[in-house]
Structure 1
Amino acid sequence: MPSIQNVYDNPTFHEGYRSLRQTGTGLNDVLEQPALHSLLPENLIGLDILDLGCGFGDFVRYACNHKAASVIGMDVSARMLASAHQMTDDETITFEQGAIENLAATSFANQQFDLIVSSLALHYVADYRTAIIDIANQLKSGGRFAFSVEHPICTALAGQKWHKDAKGNDLFWPVDNYREEGPRHTSWFIDDVIKYHRTVETYVNGLLDAGLQLNRLLEPEPVKNAADAKWENHRRRPPFLLLAAQKP
Protein backbone atom coordinates (compact mmCIF):
# COMPACT_ATOMS: atom_id res chain seq x y z
CA MET A 1 0.00 0.00 0.00
CA PRO A 2 1.45 3.43 -0.94
CA SER A 3 2.41 5.62 1.99
CA ILE A 4 0.08 8.48 2.86
CA GLN A 5 1.41 11.75 1.49
CA ASN A 6 1.51 14.86 3.66
CA VAL A 7 3.22 17.61 1.66
CA TYR A 8 1.16 20.30 3.39
CA ASP A 9 3.27 19.86 6.53
CA ASN A 10 6.43 20.67 4.57
CA PRO A 11 7.32 24.24 5.68
CA THR A 12 8.19 25.43 2.17
CA PHE A 13 5.06 23.92 0.63
CA HIS A 14 2.84 25.18 3.43
CA GLU A 15 4.10 28.74 3.13
CA GLY A 16 3.76 28.74 -0.65
CA TYR A 17 0.23 27.40 -0.49
CA ARG A 18 -0.76 29.77 2.32
CA SER A 19 0.49 32.77 0.35
CA LEU A 20 -1.40 31.61 -2.74
CA ARG A 21 -4.71 31.23 -0.89
CA GLN A 22 -4.36 34.53 0.94
CA THR A 23 -4.57 36.44 -2.33
CA GLY A 24 -8.17 35.31 -2.82
CA THR A 25 -7.67 35.51 -6.59
CA GLY A 26 -6.46 31.98 -7.40
CA LEU A 27 -8.30 29.29 -9.31
CA ASN A 28 -9.68 27.90 -6.04
CA ASP A 29 -11.48 31.16 -5.36
CA VAL A 30 -12.70 32.10 -8.84
CA LEU A 31 -13.58 28.65 -10.21
CA GLU A 32 -13.40 25.67 -7.87
CA GLN A 33 -15.09 26.96 -4.72
CA PRO A 34 -18.07 28.61 -6.46
CA ALA A 35 -18.59 25.40 -8.43
CA LEU A 36 -18.38 23.26 -5.29
CA HIS A 37 -20.90 25.48 -3.49
CA SER A 38 -23.30 25.07 -6.42
CA LEU A 39 -23.35 21.30 -5.77
CA LEU A 40 -24.43 21.63 -2.14
CA PRO A 41 -27.95 21.19 -0.81
CA GLU A 42 -29.90 24.43 -1.09
CA ASN A 43 -30.19 24.59 2.70
CA LEU A 44 -27.48 23.51 5.17
CA ILE A 45 -29.60 24.23 8.26
CA GLY A 46 -29.49 21.35 10.74
CA LEU A 47 -27.17 19.15 8.67
CA ASP A 48 -24.32 17.04 10.01
CA ILE A 49 -21.38 17.72 7.70
CA LEU A 50 -17.91 16.23 7.20
CA ASP A 51 -15.15 18.03 5.27
CA LEU A 52 -12.35 15.70 4.14
CA GLY A 53 -9.12 17.58 3.55
CA CYS A 54 -10.45 20.72 5.23
CA GLY A 55 -7.22 22.72 4.92
CA PHE A 56 -7.56 26.13 6.56
CA GLY A 57 -11.19 25.38 7.45
CA ASP A 58 -12.82 27.79 4.99
CA PHE A 59 -15.66 25.44 4.09
CA VAL A 60 -16.11 24.33 7.69
CA ARG A 61 -16.72 27.93 8.72
CA TYR A 62 -18.96 28.48 5.69
CA ALA A 63 -21.14 25.54 6.72
CA CYS A 64 -21.28 26.76 10.29
CA ASN A 65 -22.32 30.24 9.15
CA HIS A 66 -25.12 28.60 7.18
CA LYS A 67 -26.50 26.98 10.33
CA ALA A 68 -25.25 23.40 10.01
CA ALA A 69 -25.95 21.38 13.16
CA SER A 70 -22.39 20.06 13.35
CA VAL A 71 -19.31 20.23 11.17
CA ILE A 72 -16.17 18.08 11.35
CA GLY A 73 -13.08 19.16 9.45
CA MET A 74 -10.43 16.49 8.91
CA ASP A 75 -6.98 16.99 7.42
CA VAL A 76 -3.77 14.98 7.38
CA SER A 77 -1.68 18.14 7.92
CA ALA A 78 -1.03 19.36 11.47
CA ARG A 79 0.10 22.72 10.08
CA MET A 80 -3.15 23.22 8.19
CA LEU A 81 -5.20 22.27 11.22
CA ALA A 82 -3.24 24.64 13.46
CA SER A 83 -4.11 27.48 11.09
CA ALA A 84 -7.74 26.34 10.93
CA HIS A 85 -7.99 26.35 14.73
CA GLN A 86 -6.60 29.89 14.89
CA MET A 87 -9.24 31.15 12.45
CA THR A 88 -12.20 29.28 13.95
CA ASP A 89 -14.24 29.89 17.09
CA ASP A 90 -17.47 27.93 17.14
CA GLU A 91 -18.58 25.06 19.34
CA THR A 92 -20.38 23.29 16.49
CA ILE A 93 -17.05 22.78 14.69
CA THR A 94 -14.61 19.95 15.40
CA PHE A 95 -11.21 19.46 13.78
CA GLU A 96 -9.36 16.16 13.67
CA GLN A 97 -6.08 15.10 12.14
CA GLY A 98 -6.45 12.08 9.92
CA ALA A 99 -6.14 10.74 6.39
CA ILE A 100 -8.89 9.94 3.92
CA GLU A 101 -7.26 6.52 3.54
CA ASN A 102 -7.83 5.83 7.26
CA LEU A 103 -11.40 6.93 7.90
CA ALA A 104 -11.99 3.78 9.96
CA ALA A 105 -9.40 5.00 12.47
CA THR A 106 -11.03 8.38 13.15
CA SER A 107 -13.09 9.27 16.20
CA PHE A 108 -16.13 9.74 13.93
CA ALA A 109 -15.78 6.38 12.14
CA ASN A 110 -19.19 5.23 13.37
CA GLN A 111 -21.01 8.47 12.59
CA GLN A 112 -23.08 9.16 9.50
CA PHE A 113 -23.47 12.50 7.77
CA ASP A 114 -26.01 14.38 5.69
CA LEU A 115 -23.25 15.91 3.59
CA ILE A 116 -19.61 15.01 2.96
CA VAL A 117 -17.40 17.32 0.91
CA SER A 118 -13.81 17.13 -0.26
CA SER A 119 -12.04 19.96 -2.04
CA LEU A 120 -9.00 19.10 -4.17
CA ALA A 121 -7.86 16.26 -1.92
CA LEU A 122 -8.82 12.96 -3.56
CA HIS A 123 -6.17 13.26 -6.27
CA TYR A 124 -3.60 12.74 -3.48
CA VAL A 125 -5.25 9.42 -2.52
CA ALA A 126 -3.87 6.28 -4.19
CA ASP A 127 -6.87 3.96 -3.70
CA TYR A 128 -9.82 6.02 -4.89
CA ARG A 129 -12.34 3.17 -5.08
CA THR A 130 -11.80 2.08 -1.47
CA ALA A 131 -11.95 5.69 -0.29
CA ILE A 132 -15.30 6.19 -2.03
CA ILE A 133 -16.73 3.03 -0.48
CA ASP A 134 -15.67 4.24 2.97
CA ILE A 135 -17.19 7.66 2.30
CA ALA A 136 -20.45 6.14 1.03
CA ASN A 137 -20.70 4.08 4.22
CA GLN A 138 -20.62 7.27 6.27
CA LEU A 139 -23.47 8.92 4.40
CA LYS A 140 -26.97 8.82 5.77
CA SER A 141 -29.71 7.59 3.49
CA GLY A 142 -30.36 10.51 1.16
CA GLY A 143 -27.01 12.08 2.09
CA ARG A 144 -24.89 13.85 -0.51
CA PHE A 145 -21.21 13.67 -1.40
CA ALA A 146 -19.63 16.52 -3.40
CA PHE A 147 -15.97 16.77 -4.31
CA SER A 148 -13.45 18.38 -6.62
CA VAL A 149 -10.17 17.13 -8.09
CA GLU A 150 -7.69 18.40 -10.61
CA HIS A 151 -9.09 17.56 -14.01
CA PRO A 152 -7.66 14.39 -15.58
CA ILE A 153 -6.63 16.45 -18.60
CA CYS A 154 -4.26 18.25 -16.22
CA THR A 155 -3.00 15.19 -14.35
CA ALA A 156 -2.50 12.83 -17.29
CA LEU A 157 0.93 14.06 -18.32
CA ALA A 158 3.18 14.95 -15.37
CA GLY A 159 4.78 18.38 -15.58
CA GLN A 160 2.96 19.37 -18.75
CA LYS A 161 2.85 23.00 -19.83
CA TRP A 162 1.32 24.90 -22.69
CA HIS A 163 3.14 24.38 -25.98
CA LYS A 164 4.09 27.78 -27.35
CA ASP A 165 4.91 29.27 -30.72
CA ALA A 166 8.09 31.21 -31.54
CA LYS A 167 6.56 34.37 -30.08
CA GLY A 168 5.65 32.72 -26.77
CA ASN A 169 1.93 32.43 -27.45
CA ASP A 170 0.15 29.38 -26.04
CA LEU A 171 -0.69 26.94 -28.83
CA PHE A 172 -2.15 23.87 -27.12
CA TRP A 173 -2.22 21.86 -23.90
CA PRO A 174 -0.70 18.39 -24.39
CA VAL A 175 -2.54 15.29 -23.19
CA ASP A 176 -0.82 11.91 -23.14
CA ASN A 177 -0.89 8.64 -21.17
CA TYR A 178 -4.53 9.33 -20.34
CA ARG A 179 -5.50 5.69 -19.83
CA GLU A 180 -2.40 4.93 -17.76
CA GLU A 181 -3.70 5.59 -14.26
CA GLY A 182 -1.39 5.95 -11.28
CA PRO A 183 1.05 8.33 -9.59
CA ARG A 184 2.43 11.42 -11.28
CA HIS A 185 5.50 13.09 -9.77
CA THR A 186 5.28 16.86 -10.13
CA SER A 187 6.81 20.05 -8.77
CA TRP A 188 4.52 22.47 -6.96
CA PHE A 189 6.26 24.69 -4.39
CA ILE A 190 8.56 21.70 -3.76
CA ASP A 191 9.83 18.80 -5.86
CA ASP A 192 8.27 15.34 -6.02
CA VAL A 193 4.68 16.11 -5.10
CA ILE A 194 2.69 12.98 -5.95
CA LYS A 195 -0.77 13.28 -7.50
CA TYR A 196 -2.71 10.27 -8.72
CA HIS A 197 -4.07 10.43 -12.22
CA ARG A 198 -7.29 8.64 -13.04
CA THR A 199 -9.77 8.99 -15.85
CA VAL A 200 -13.17 10.69 -15.71
CA GLU A 201 -14.60 7.20 -16.22
CA THR A 202 -12.92 5.97 -13.04
CA TYR A 203 -14.10 8.96 -11.02
CA VAL A 204 -17.70 8.48 -12.10
CA ASN A 205 -17.83 4.69 -11.94
CA GLY A 206 -16.22 4.70 -8.50
CA LEU A 207 -19.28 6.54 -7.23
CA LEU A 208 -21.72 4.24 -9.02
CA ASP A 209 -19.90 1.10 -7.88
CA ALA A 210 -20.15 2.31 -4.28
CA GLY A 211 -23.93 2.42 -4.63
CA LEU A 212 -24.25 6.18 -5.03
CA GLN A 213 -26.40 7.98 -7.59
CA LEU A 214 -24.67 10.60 -9.71
CA ASN A 215 -26.35 13.99 -9.45
CA ARG A 216 -24.06 16.36 -11.33
CA LEU A 217 -20.73 16.66 -13.14
CA LEU A 218 -19.04 20.05 -13.56
CA GLU A 219 -16.00 21.32 -15.45
CA PRO A 220 -16.15 24.98 -14.37
CA GLU A 221 -14.94 27.72 -16.66
CA PRO A 222 -14.43 31.47 -16.31
CA VAL A 223 -17.29 33.58 -17.55
CA LYS A 224 -16.94 34.35 -21.26
CA ASN A 225 -16.89 38.11 -20.73
CA ALA A 226 -14.31 38.03 -17.93
CA ALA A 227 -12.37 41.27 -18.03
CA ASP A 228 -9.12 39.63 -17.02
CA ALA A 229 -7.60 37.85 -20.03
CA LYS A 230 -5.46 35.63 -17.79
CA TRP A 231 -8.47 33.34 -17.26
CA GLU A 232 -9.03 32.70 -20.98
CA ASN A 233 -6.76 29.65 -21.12
CA HIS A 234 -8.88 27.94 -18.49
CA ARG A 235 -11.70 27.90 -21.04
CA ARG A 236 -9.38 26.07 -23.46
CA ARG A 237 -8.73 23.22 -21.03
CA PRO A 238 -10.63 22.60 -17.77
CA PRO A 239 -8.52 22.80 -14.58
CA PHE A 240 -11.06 21.07 -12.31
CA LEU A 241 -13.53 18.21 -12.30
CA LEU A 242 -16.38 18.24 -9.77
CA LEU A 243 -18.89 15.50 -9.02
CA ALA A 244 -21.92 15.27 -6.76
CA ALA A 245 -23.65 12.03 -5.81
CA GLN A 246 -26.34 10.91 -3.41
CA LYS A 247 -26.93 7.82 -1.30
CA PRO A 248 -30.32 6.22 -2.02
Structure 2
Amino acid sequence: MKQNKYDDPGFFANYSQMPRSTGGLNAAGEWQVFRALLPELKDKKVLDLGCGFGWHCRYASEQQARSVIGVDLSENMLKRAREGTSDPAIEYIQLAIEDINFAAEQFDVVISSLAFHYVENFELVCKKVNHALKPGGSFVFSIEHPIFTALATQDWYHDENGNRLHWPVDGYQDEGQRTARFLDNNVIKYHRTLETHINTLIDAGFQITRISEPQPSKEVLEEYPEMKDETRRPIFLLIAAVKNS
Protein backbone atom coordinates (compact mmCIF):
# COMPACT_ATOMS: atom_id res chain seq x y z
CA MET A 1 0.00 0.00 0.00
CA LYS A 2 1.60 3.29 -1.08
CA GLN A 3 1.73 6.05 1.53
CA ASN A 4 -0.96 8.69 1.06
CA LYS A 5 -0.89 11.09 4.00
CA TYR A 6 -2.33 13.92 1.93
CA ASP A 7 -5.80 12.38 1.95
CA ASP A 8 -5.83 12.50 5.74
CA PRO A 9 -8.01 15.58 6.50
CA GLY A 10 -5.88 16.94 9.35
CA PHE A 11 -2.57 16.47 7.55
CA PHE A 12 -3.93 18.00 4.36
CA ALA A 13 -5.32 20.99 6.25
CA ASN A 14 -1.89 21.66 7.78
CA TYR A 15 -0.12 21.20 4.45
CA SER A 16 -2.54 23.61 2.78
CA GLN A 17 -1.35 26.38 5.11
CA MET A 18 2.34 26.09 4.19
CA PRO A 19 3.79 29.06 2.26
CA ARG A 20 4.48 26.96 -0.86
CA SER A 21 0.87 25.73 -0.72
CA THR A 22 -0.63 29.19 -0.56
CA GLY A 23 1.99 31.19 -2.48
CA GLY A 24 2.82 28.71 -5.21
CA LEU A 25 6.18 28.38 -6.94
CA ASN A 26 7.48 31.80 -5.94
CA ALA A 27 7.12 30.82 -2.28
CA ALA A 28 9.30 27.74 -2.80
CA GLY A 29 12.88 28.62 -1.94
CA GLU A 30 14.33 26.25 -4.55
CA TRP A 31 12.05 27.23 -7.44
CA GLN A 32 14.33 29.72 -9.20
CA VAL A 33 17.10 27.13 -9.37
CA PHE A 34 14.71 24.36 -10.40
CA ARG A 35 13.33 26.54 -13.20
CA ALA A 36 16.85 27.25 -14.47
CA LEU A 37 17.47 23.49 -14.83
CA LEU A 38 14.44 22.99 -17.05
CA PRO A 39 14.83 22.79 -20.82
CA GLU A 40 12.73 24.78 -23.27
CA LEU A 41 9.16 23.58 -22.73
CA LYS A 42 7.46 25.05 -25.77
CA ASP A 43 5.78 22.34 -27.86
CA LYS A 44 7.05 19.63 -25.47
CA LYS A 45 5.09 16.75 -23.94
CA VAL A 46 5.63 17.02 -20.18
CA LEU A 47 5.04 14.58 -17.32
CA ASP A 48 5.00 15.77 -13.69
CA LEU A 49 5.38 13.01 -11.08
CA GLY A 50 3.92 13.88 -7.68
CA CYS A 51 2.27 16.98 -9.13
CA GLY A 52 0.49 18.04 -5.92
CA PHE A 53 -1.52 21.21 -6.42
CA GLY A 54 -0.43 21.38 -10.07
CA TRP A 55 1.86 24.42 -9.82
CA HIS A 56 4.51 22.94 -12.10
CA CYS A 57 1.91 21.63 -14.54
CA ARG A 58 0.44 25.10 -14.92
CA TYR A 59 3.91 26.58 -15.35
CA ALA A 60 4.68 24.10 -18.15
CA SER A 61 1.42 24.98 -19.87
CA GLU A 62 2.18 28.69 -19.52
CA GLN A 63 5.46 27.98 -21.30
CA GLN A 64 3.39 26.60 -24.20
CA ALA A 65 4.03 22.92 -23.62
CA ARG A 66 2.06 20.86 -26.12
CA SER A 67 0.58 18.67 -23.38
CA VAL A 68 1.07 18.12 -19.65
CA ILE A 69 0.18 15.12 -17.52
CA GLY A 70 0.28 15.43 -13.73
CA VAL A 71 0.39 12.25 -11.64
CA ASP A 72 -0.39 12.13 -7.93
CA LEU A 73 -1.70 9.50 -5.53
CA SER A 74 -3.73 11.96 -3.46
CA GLU A 75 -7.34 12.66 -4.36
CA ASN A 76 -7.17 15.86 -2.28
CA MET A 77 -4.13 17.09 -4.18
CA LEU A 78 -5.68 16.45 -7.56
CA LYS A 79 -8.98 18.03 -6.57
CA ARG A 80 -7.11 21.23 -5.66
CA ALA A 81 -5.06 21.01 -8.87
CA ARG A 82 -8.16 20.71 -11.02
CA GLU A 83 -9.79 23.61 -9.18
CA GLY A 84 -6.75 25.74 -10.02
CA THR A 85 -7.07 25.49 -13.79
CA SER A 86 -9.41 24.65 -16.62
CA ASP A 87 -6.54 24.35 -19.09
CA PRO A 88 -7.36 21.65 -21.65
CA ALA A 89 -3.64 21.01 -22.20
CA ILE A 90 -3.32 19.59 -18.66
CA GLU A 91 -4.52 16.13 -17.63
CA TYR A 92 -4.36 14.90 -14.03
CA ILE A 93 -4.16 11.18 -13.19
CA GLN A 94 -4.55 9.64 -9.72
CA LEU A 95 -1.78 7.07 -9.51
CA ALA A 96 1.22 6.15 -7.37
CA ILE A 97 4.52 7.24 -8.93
CA GLU A 98 5.83 3.67 -8.82
CA ASP A 99 2.81 2.45 -10.79
CA ILE A 100 3.21 4.62 -13.89
CA ASN A 101 3.12 2.67 -17.13
CA PHE A 102 3.34 5.12 -20.01
CA ALA A 103 4.19 4.26 -23.59
CA ALA A 104 7.78 4.16 -24.77
CA GLU A 105 9.14 7.58 -25.77
CA GLN A 106 5.85 9.31 -24.91
CA PHE A 107 7.37 12.41 -23.28
CA ASP A 108 10.01 15.02 -24.00
CA VAL A 109 10.39 16.15 -20.38
CA VAL A 110 9.73 14.49 -17.02
CA ILE A 111 9.84 16.56 -13.83
CA SER A 112 9.23 15.89 -10.16
CA SER A 113 9.29 18.19 -7.15
CA LEU A 114 10.01 16.87 -3.65
CA ALA A 115 8.32 13.51 -4.16
CA PHE A 116 10.93 10.79 -4.65
CA HIS A 117 12.02 10.67 -1.00
CA TYR A 118 8.54 9.22 -0.35
CA VAL A 119 9.15 6.47 -2.93
CA GLU A 120 10.67 3.18 -1.81
CA ASN A 121 11.88 1.93 -5.19
CA PHE A 122 13.78 4.79 -6.83
CA GLU A 123 15.50 2.40 -9.24
CA LEU A 124 12.15 1.26 -10.67
CA VAL A 125 10.98 4.85 -11.11
CA CYS A 126 14.17 5.81 -12.97
CA LYS A 127 13.76 2.86 -15.35
CA LYS A 128 10.12 3.72 -16.02
CA VAL A 129 10.96 7.38 -16.62
CA ASN A 130 13.72 6.40 -19.02
CA HIS A 131 11.30 4.14 -20.89
CA ALA A 132 8.73 6.95 -21.20
CA LEU A 133 11.23 9.59 -22.39
CA LYS A 134 12.30 10.19 -25.95
CA PRO A 135 16.06 9.85 -26.60
CA GLY A 136 17.67 13.08 -25.46
CA GLY A 137 14.66 13.86 -23.29
CA SER A 138 15.11 15.70 -20.00
CA PHE A 139 14.57 14.41 -16.46
CA VAL A 140 14.67 17.14 -13.79
CA PHE A 141 13.73 16.55 -10.17
CA SER A 142 14.19 17.78 -6.62
CA ILE A 143 14.34 15.75 -3.41
CA GLU A 144 15.18 16.34 0.21
CA HIS A 145 18.97 16.32 0.44
CA PRO A 146 20.58 13.12 1.79
CA ILE A 147 22.17 15.20 4.54
CA PHE A 148 18.64 16.14 5.55
CA THR A 149 17.14 12.64 5.34
CA ALA A 150 19.96 10.70 7.04
CA LEU A 151 18.53 11.14 10.54
CA ALA A 152 14.80 10.61 11.04
CA THR A 153 14.62 13.48 13.54
CA GLN A 154 15.42 16.00 10.78
CA ASP A 155 16.18 18.69 13.32
CA TRP A 156 19.00 20.89 14.57
CA TYR A 157 21.16 20.14 17.58
CA HIS A 158 20.35 22.79 20.19
CA ASP A 159 22.16 24.08 23.25
CA GLU A 160 20.53 24.37 26.68
CA ASN A 161 19.01 27.71 25.67
CA GLY A 162 17.45 26.38 22.49
CA ASN A 163 19.98 27.97 20.12
CA ARG A 164 20.72 26.01 16.94
CA LEU A 165 24.31 24.82 17.12
CA HIS A 166 24.62 22.52 14.12
CA TRP A 167 22.79 20.05 11.89
CA PRO A 168 23.68 16.47 12.91
CA VAL A 169 24.47 13.86 10.26
CA ASP A 170 24.57 10.23 11.32
CA GLY A 171 23.65 6.90 9.78
CA TYR A 172 24.32 8.39 6.36
CA GLN A 173 25.44 5.10 4.80
CA ASP A 174 22.48 3.21 6.29
CA GLU A 175 20.00 3.58 3.45
CA GLY A 176 16.32 2.82 3.79
CA GLN A 177 13.17 3.81 5.59
CA ARG A 178 12.94 6.68 8.04
CA THR A 179 9.92 7.70 10.13
CA ALA A 180 10.07 11.48 10.23
CA ARG A 181 7.82 13.97 11.98
CA PHE A 182 6.19 16.39 9.54
CA LEU A 183 3.18 18.63 10.19
CA ASP A 184 2.52 16.88 13.51
CA ASN A 185 2.33 13.48 11.79
CA ASN A 186 4.61 10.50 11.36
CA VAL A 187 5.61 10.28 7.71
CA ILE A 188 7.58 7.50 6.01
CA LYS A 189 10.52 8.72 3.95
CA TYR A 190 13.39 6.87 2.28
CA HIS A 191 17.01 7.87 2.71
CA ARG A 192 19.47 7.27 -0.11
CA THR A 193 23.03 8.53 -0.41
CA LEU A 194 24.13 10.96 -3.11
CA GLU A 195 26.12 8.10 -4.63
CA THR A 196 23.00 5.96 -4.95
CA HIS A 197 20.99 8.71 -6.62
CA ILE A 198 23.69 9.41 -9.19
CA ASN A 199 24.58 5.80 -9.97
CA THR A 200 20.93 4.73 -10.18
CA LEU A 201 20.33 7.39 -12.83
CA ILE A 202 23.43 6.38 -14.77
CA ASP A 203 22.50 2.68 -14.62
CA ALA A 204 18.97 3.51 -15.85
CA GLY A 205 20.40 5.12 -19.00
CA PHE A 206 20.75 8.79 -18.08
CA GLN A 207 23.56 11.29 -18.37
CA ILE A 208 23.78 13.78 -15.50
CA THR A 209 23.95 17.35 -16.79
CA ARG A 210 23.66 19.42 -13.62
CA ILE A 211 23.40 19.11 -9.84
CA SER A 212 22.38 21.86 -7.44
CA GLU A 213 22.18 22.21 -3.65
CA PRO A 214 20.30 25.53 -3.58
CA GLN A 215 19.94 27.92 -0.73
CA PRO A 216 17.21 30.55 -0.42
CA SER A 217 17.78 33.64 -2.54
CA LYS A 218 18.18 37.09 -1.00
CA GLU A 219 14.66 37.95 -2.12
CA VAL A 220 13.19 34.84 -0.47
CA LEU A 221 15.07 35.54 2.75
CA GLU A 222 13.74 39.08 2.82
CA GLU A 223 10.17 37.80 2.54
CA TYR A 224 10.66 34.76 4.78
CA PRO A 225 13.39 35.69 7.32
CA GLU A 226 12.66 32.53 9.30
CA MET A 227 14.48 30.65 6.52
CA LYS A 228 17.87 32.18 7.36
CA ASP A 229 19.21 28.93 8.78
CA GLU A 230 18.59 27.18 5.46
CA THR A 231 21.91 28.71 4.33
CA ARG A 232 23.80 26.60 6.89
CA ARG A 233 23.21 23.20 5.30
CA PRO A 234 21.52 21.95 2.14
CA ILE A 235 17.90 20.91 2.51
CA PHE A 236 17.25 20.12 -1.16
CA LEU A 237 19.11 18.30 -3.92
CA LEU A 238 18.22 19.07 -7.54
CA ILE A 239 19.35 16.87 -10.40
CA ALA A 240 19.03 17.40 -14.16
CA ALA A 241 19.70 14.53 -16.54
CA VAL A 242 19.03 13.52 -20.13
CA LYS A 243 18.19 10.14 -21.59
CA ASN A 244 21.05 8.67 -23.59
CA SER A 245 20.44 8.76 -27.32
TM-score normalised by L of structure 1: 0.91
Alignment of 1:78-97 (within 5 A): 78-97=75-94
Tell me the CA shift for residue 23 of structure 1.
Answer: 4.1
Question: What is the percent sequence identity of the aligned residues?
Answer: 47
Alignment of 1:93-104 (within 5 A): 93-104=90-101
Per-residue CA shift, 1:24-76, capped at 9, x if unaligned?
399x83422222111101x2110000000000001111111110000001100
Quote the residue 1:233 is aligned against. 229
Quote the residue 1:128 is aligned against. 122
Q: 2:45 & 2:183 partners in 1: Cα distance?
A: 35
Structure 2 gap segments, 5+ residues each:
none
Structure 1 gap segments, 5+ residues each:
none
Secondary structure of 2:29 counterpart: helix
Alignment of 1:21-170 (within 5 A): 21-24=20-23, 29-41=27-39, 43-104=40-101, 108-110=102-104, 112-170=106-164
The number of residues matched between the two structures is 241
Per-residue CA shift, 1:76-116, capped at 9, x if unaligned?
00110011111111111111110111112xxx445611100
Tell me the CA shift for residue 190 of structure 1.
Answer: 4.2
Cα distance change on mapping 1:130 and 1:25 into 2, 3 Å: closer
Q: 1:214 & 1:57 partners in 2: Cα distance?
A: 26
Quote the residue 2:212 is aligned against. 218
- Code of the residue aligned with 2:114 in structure 1: it is L
- Code of the residue aligned with 2:23 in structure 1: it is G
Tell me the CA shift for residue 188 of structure 1.
Answer: 1.2
Q: 1:162 & 1:190 partners in 2: Cα distance?
A: 17
Quote the residue 1:242 is aligned against. 238
The more displaced of 54-63 and 225-234 is 225-234
Q: 2:148 & 2:204 partners in 1: Cα distance?
A: 25
Aligned match of 1:11 in 2, 5, 9? 9
Q: 2:225 & 2:45 partners in 1: Cα distance?
A: 40
Contact 1:12 1:189 in 2 (8 A): no
Contact 1:163 1:174 in 2 (8 A): yes
Q: 2:161 & 2:120 partners in 1: Cα distance?
A: 40
Contact 2:74 2:94 in 1 (8 A): yes
Per-residue CA shift, 1:178-197, capped at 9, x if unaligned?
00011101121243210000
Quote the residue 2:200 is aligned against. 206
Contact 1:114 1:143 in 2 (8 A): yes
Cα distance change on mapping 1:32 and 1:223 into 2, 3 Å: closer
Secondary structure of 2:199 counterpart: helix
The more displaced of 29-38 and 150-159 is 29-38
Secondary structure of 1:133 counterpart: helix
Q: 1:4 & 1:30 partners in 2: Cα distance?
A: 26
Secondary structure of 1:19 counterpart: coil
Q: 1:176 & 1:4 partners in 2: Cα distance?
A: 27
Cα distance change on mapping 1:180 and 1:11 into 2, 3 Å: same
- Code of the residue aligned with 1:47 in structure 2: it is K
Q: 1:19 & 1:229 partners in 2: Cα distance?
A: 18
Contact 1:12 1:190 in 2 (8 A): no
Q: 1:74 & 1:30 partners in 2: Cα distance?
A: 20
Contact 2:42 2:66 in 1 (8 A): yes
Cα distance change on mapping 1:91 and 1:239 into 2, 3 Å: same
